[in-house]
């Protein structure tokens, strides 16, 4: 059988596998065993399915294939952060990051190979989008980072953030399918409240998430609370303006009851003034929300600079005086280009 004609086994439906097992005179319980290997034991090869007969594994391999991602390169930062470069079945590279803190162990995963949004401050935004990741490729990242977490820190992941390479809501179906497998009791069984999807603000898809009443958290890559500044940094704002974005977020909150997180990188003399803070306060009053102020990480050939400590302190003070729930998210993994905005598949 031509390999190109084979389906990825994790795309096979329950009905398809049931018919195949029946044709092979296999017992019905084999279906459950296959499911457990794929989604609960995270098998990435047929040989790993050790409680299936050799004959059944060979029959499955004749009809299906694994397009599993593999680990191409791993780096560990001085702060414990681990960056993994993954290789896809068709030879492309993506990156994921394992971030340990005192109370959390977070996997930051990618949703696309490259990105099409060209945000001016982001290394990934300088790459072309090659393609969307399939749901099982997103799942594989989590599974591999889970294995690395257990090996290096002797504990399981506490959180998953879709904040790696790509815009998750431009890979809507695969992202939601991956979350379904990650949160399913017949999958990784992680609570959706421990998953955050970060978007630059694709308003149509935010409304779709609301209609589906999703249970995971939504973070908005904001970085400016006025249209002129935001469009200059993030061209997506030209077609998804702040007014449209806030309307969609209001709709999302009313449908789901989940507060919004705004991610805001402070850039020196760009978006760190008191006027910028006042605009952000006005925006935050529209919908229950919190603000993560993010330390900027230098990206080669990008003109933006990190705001100084004085600007940061003034900005935080202004937000707190106006009762905005704000915290500073310190960068992790900067020394291995694993911090926010730095993922770009550089040669190591």
Domains of the chain with bracketed CATH: 3-65 (1.10.150.530), 70-336 (3.20.20.70)
**Res 303: pLDDT:** 75
Asked if the model's pLDDT at residue 323 lies above 80, the reply is yes
Computed over every residue of the chain, the mean pLDDT equals 90
Catalytic residue, chosen from 95, 137, 167, 263, is: 95
Q: Which is higher by pLDDT, 306 or 157? A: 157
Instruction: Write out the two tokens for 280.
Output: 């952000």
Cα(335)–Cα(297) distance, rounded to whole angstroms? 10
164-179 pLDDT, tens digit per residue, is 999 999 999 999 999 9
pLDDT number for residue 119: 78
Over residues 237-257, the pLDDT tens digits come to 999 999 999 999 999 999 999
**Side-chain half-sphere of 104: how many Cα atoms within 13 Å?**
11
Catalytic residue flag (residue 95):
yes
pLDDT at 332: 59
pLDDT confidence tier of residue 279, bands split at 50, 70 and 90: very high
User: What percent of the chain is modeled with pLDDT above 70?
Assistant: 92
pLDDT top residue among 339 and 326: 326
340 flagged as catalytic: yes
Residue 302 has pLDDT above 70, yes or no: yes
């Amino acid at each position: 059988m031509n390999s190109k004609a084979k389906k990825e086994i994790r795309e096979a439906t329950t009905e398809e596998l049931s018919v195949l097992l029946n044709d092979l005179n296999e017992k019905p319980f084999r279906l459950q065993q296959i499911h457990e290997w794929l989604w609960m034991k995270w098998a990435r090869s047929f040989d790993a399915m050790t409680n299936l007969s050799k004959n059944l594994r060979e029959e499955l391999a004749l009809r299906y294939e694994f397009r599993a991602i593999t680990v191409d390169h791993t780096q560990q930062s001085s702060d414990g952060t681990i960056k993994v470069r993954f290789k896809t079945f068709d030879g492309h590279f993506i990156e994921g990051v394992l971030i340990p803190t005192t109370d959390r162990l977070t996997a930051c995963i990618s949703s696309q190979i490259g990105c099409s949004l060209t945000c001016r401050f982001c290394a990934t935004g300088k790459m072309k989008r090659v393609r969307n990741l399939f749901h099982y490729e997103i799942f594989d990242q989590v599974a591999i980072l889970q294995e690395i977490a257990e090996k290096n820190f002797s504990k399981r992941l506490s959180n998953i953030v879709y904040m790696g390479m790509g815009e998750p809501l431009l890979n809507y179906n695969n992202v939601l399918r991956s979350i379904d497998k990650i949160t399913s009791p017949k999958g990784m069984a992680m609570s959706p409240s421990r998953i955050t999807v970060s978007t630059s603000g694709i308003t149509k898809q935010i409304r779709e998430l609301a209609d589906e009443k999703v249970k995971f958290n939504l973070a908005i890559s904001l970085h400016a609370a006025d249209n002129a500044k935001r469009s200059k940094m993030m061209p997506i704002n030209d077609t998804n303006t702040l007014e449209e974005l806030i309307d969609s977020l209001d709709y999302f909150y009313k449908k789901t009851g989940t507060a919004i997180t705004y991610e805001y990188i402070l850039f020196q003399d760009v978006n760190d003034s008191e006027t910028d803070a006042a605009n952000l306060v006005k925006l935050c009053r529209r919908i229950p929300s919190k603000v993560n102020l993010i330390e900027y990480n230098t990206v080669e050939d990008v003109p933006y600079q990190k705001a100084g400590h004085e600007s940061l302190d003034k900005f935080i003070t202004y937000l707190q005086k106006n009762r905005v729930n704000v915290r500073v998210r310190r960068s992790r993994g900067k020394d291995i280009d694993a911090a926010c905005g730095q993922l770009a598949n550089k040669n190591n």
